[in-house]
Structure 1
């Protein structure tokens, strides 16, 4: 009888590893879903029209992160997909490597599509927040924060903002808790185009 118990033991040794792996994946997916929420105290724009927001945008300013570090002439394009998601195409020029870099992802709304709170993914099941927190009534410029205030962008349909808008957006960002000293104004020159 003891021999049978020992023979069955190796079959069940993998269970703890499998359960730990499943728990780790569940935790990552849960954290990814939580990461898509707006930061505390940040309210995304209401009465949002994704059709008007779609199209080409110039990234005028950002808080730099490894996925964009060193890029100039950065742009974003948003297109509505048939399934209700939004195709996201980010593109920028790397002057050191003398090449264009592009990332393609998708976004979906977190809640109602009339509230500019979205989550975006470029890497499989992992999502980050994309919250439009200021928007021109004519959809000519926008300010966006991610899942936390270290992810920050100012976008425009053109390579410059109307007079006074830059200072108003920075004041709003500062009031939300964004460290505006970290904001990088992106070179929109023609190098490499």
Structure 2
């Protein structure tokens, strides 16, 4: 019985550790500067997941906690419920602080990968993934991106093997909510 419990604990730890890795053939950006990444980001596009399903006007805001970790506040509007939803979490580097690979937790000791795959030099847009290729976000400092930039990021994601035909373009204004 004790061996079975140990095995189950090891298996659980291995599964949880797998959620903080990077997808196959995907590398985080290097020479990453956290202080430049902090602040508000608008979600331009995403792959669908239950925790964001139906939300519009989605933003993520990053700020430093006193302990050096990153406070993460994700917020989105549910037109169906006519109310805002918010989740607050904490992120820390998964390895080197010069690599754009963090791990974020919204549920106590359980972490998931936050891998910045592409980031422009001015820190104005980013392509972000989770631990596998079913997680993908395109973020911008502004509520919209030039079509050419969005197309280039979608093309890059497709080249990396993401199902870009499933991307959801996120409405970032109240008028778009009314048309849903």
Q: Give the one of 62, 70, 95 matched to 2:79.
A: 95
Q: Give the one of 42, 62, 75 matched to 2:26.
A: 42
Taking the aligned partners of 1:53 and 1:169, their CA distance within structure 2 comes to 18
Q: TM-score, normalised by structure 2?
A: 0.91
Taking the aligned partners of 1:49 and 1:135, their CA distance within structure 2 comes to 11
Taking the aligned partners of 2:4 and 2:79, their CA distance within structure 1 comes to 44
Does 1:56 find its partner at 2:43? no
Match of 1:29 in 2: 13
- Tell me which moved more, 25-34 or 157-166: 25-34
Match of 1:107 in 2: 91
Match of 2:127 in 1: 143
Taking the aligned partners of 1:123 and 1:23, their CA distance within structure 2 comes to 24
Q: Secondary structure at 1:168's aligned position in 2? A: helix
Match of 1:185 in 2: 169
Match of 2:69 in 1: 85
Match of 1:5 in 2: none
Q: Where does structure 2 lack aligned partners over 5 or more consecutive residues?
A: none
Q: 1:23 to 1:85 in 2, by over 3 A?
A: farther
Match of 1:173 in 2: 157
Shift of 1:160: 1.0
**Based on CA coordinates, which of the two structures has the bigger radius of gyration?**
1
Shift of 1:177: 0.3
Q: Secondary structure at 1:164's aligned position in 2? A: helix
Q: Where does structure 1 lack aligned partners over 5 or more consecutive residues?
A: 1-15
Q: Give the one of 108, 115, 118 matched to 2:102.
A: 118
Aligned positions, number: 176
Q: Which 4+ stretches in 1 moved above 2 angstroms?
A: 18-30
